[in-house]
Amino acid sequence: MYHCLDEWTALIDAKPLPGDPLAANILTNPMIGLLAIEFASRRRMRLNGRVERATDGRLLVHAQQVYANCPKYIQARQIEGTPGTELNPSIVHVATGLNQSQQQWITQADTFFIASAHPAGGADASHRGGHPGFIQMLDDSALLWPDYTGNMMFNTLGNIAVHPQSGLLFLDFATGSTLQMTGQAQIIWDEALVQPYPGAERLVRYSISQVIETAQRLPWCWEFMSYSPFHPEVSERGHE
């Protein structure tokens, strides 16, 4: 899906689906943040820069920042194949809040991705992981999750401290479906509120403005292999 044309340019061999906000967004603001992640080896790399549509609709990304991150909190998964049905992506749900099945999806998730931006510093995409249940539903339009010690670069936290508007992405690793959210993120530093969450250095509350669920979005599915040994709960149980 990615092709490096040269040391500064990547071609993404894919097009935004109808209804995906990305298509309209890049026409008004070319900033983009990408995360290349290999779950099986727990390797990840960020690529931030500017994007343009090629004549055939594919995306050209002109790199401004490229760097690898540590393997913390990545669950090991192996690509297993296709979800077993003919791929026919379709948006099945657009709303301002989460229905019951989507709330269950989130509270059982062990992985999600967060997109953030800084008006002067560009866009960024990052990964978050934990044991199922590490994300809490406050109501049908608000989430809360603990933020653990990471690579000490604070890309995401720095961005949302200045510009709270951000996006979340959840994957269904068995079916290839996706759940996208846009909204506002707020960092919670209050030690009394953070203390009940083992290993957390702060909390993040997320208020949803829009939800888009897309069925069969991805042409792959993954088999779960193991949880990250960096999760605080795992460490406290002796790396079960």
Structural domain boundaries of the chain?
Answer: 2-229
Q: What is the percentage of the chain residues whose pLDDT exceeds 70?
A: 93
Span 149-182, pLDDT tens digits: 887 788 999 999 999 999 999 999 998 899 999 9
pLDDT exceeds cutoff 70 at 43: yes
Mean pLDDT of the region 112-136? 95
Task: Please name the amino acid found at residue 191.
Answer: E
Which residues lie below 8 Å from residue 171, measured CB to CB, with a gap of 6+?
Answer: 111, 112, 177, 178, 179, 218
Residues 96 and 129: their CA atoms lie apart, in Å, by 24
Q: What is the percentage of the chain residues whose pLDDT exceeds 90?
A: 71
| Residue-level pLDDT at 87 | 62
- pLDDT band of residue 184 (cuts 50, 70, 90) is very high
Span 65-99, pLDDT tens digits: 999 999 999 999 999 876 655 666 677 889 999 99
Comparing C-alpha atoms, which of 40, 37, 21 is closest to residue 228? 40
Q: How far is CA 3 from CA 8, 23, 45, 61, 218, in A?
A: 11, 20, 15, 10, 18
Instruction: Tell me which of 24-33, 78-87, 204-213 is least confident.
Output: 78-87
Residues forming a β-bridge with 184: 165, 207
- pLDDT band of residue 238 (cuts 50, 70, 90) is very low
pLDDT exceeds cutoff 50 at 236: no
233 backbone φψ class: left, alpha, beta (φ>0; ψ -120 to 50): alpha
pLDDT exceeds cutoff 50 at 24: yes
| Residue-level pLDDT at 86 | 60
pLDDT exceeds cutoff 60 at 22: yes
- Dihedral through CA 72, CA 46, CA 217, CA 219, nearest 10? -80
Residues 112 and 125: their CA atoms lie apart, in Å, by 11
Mean pLDDT of the region 131-152? 94
Q: 2-229 — its CATH code?
A: 2.30.110.10
Span 44-66, pLDDT tens digits: 999 999 999 888 888 999 999 99
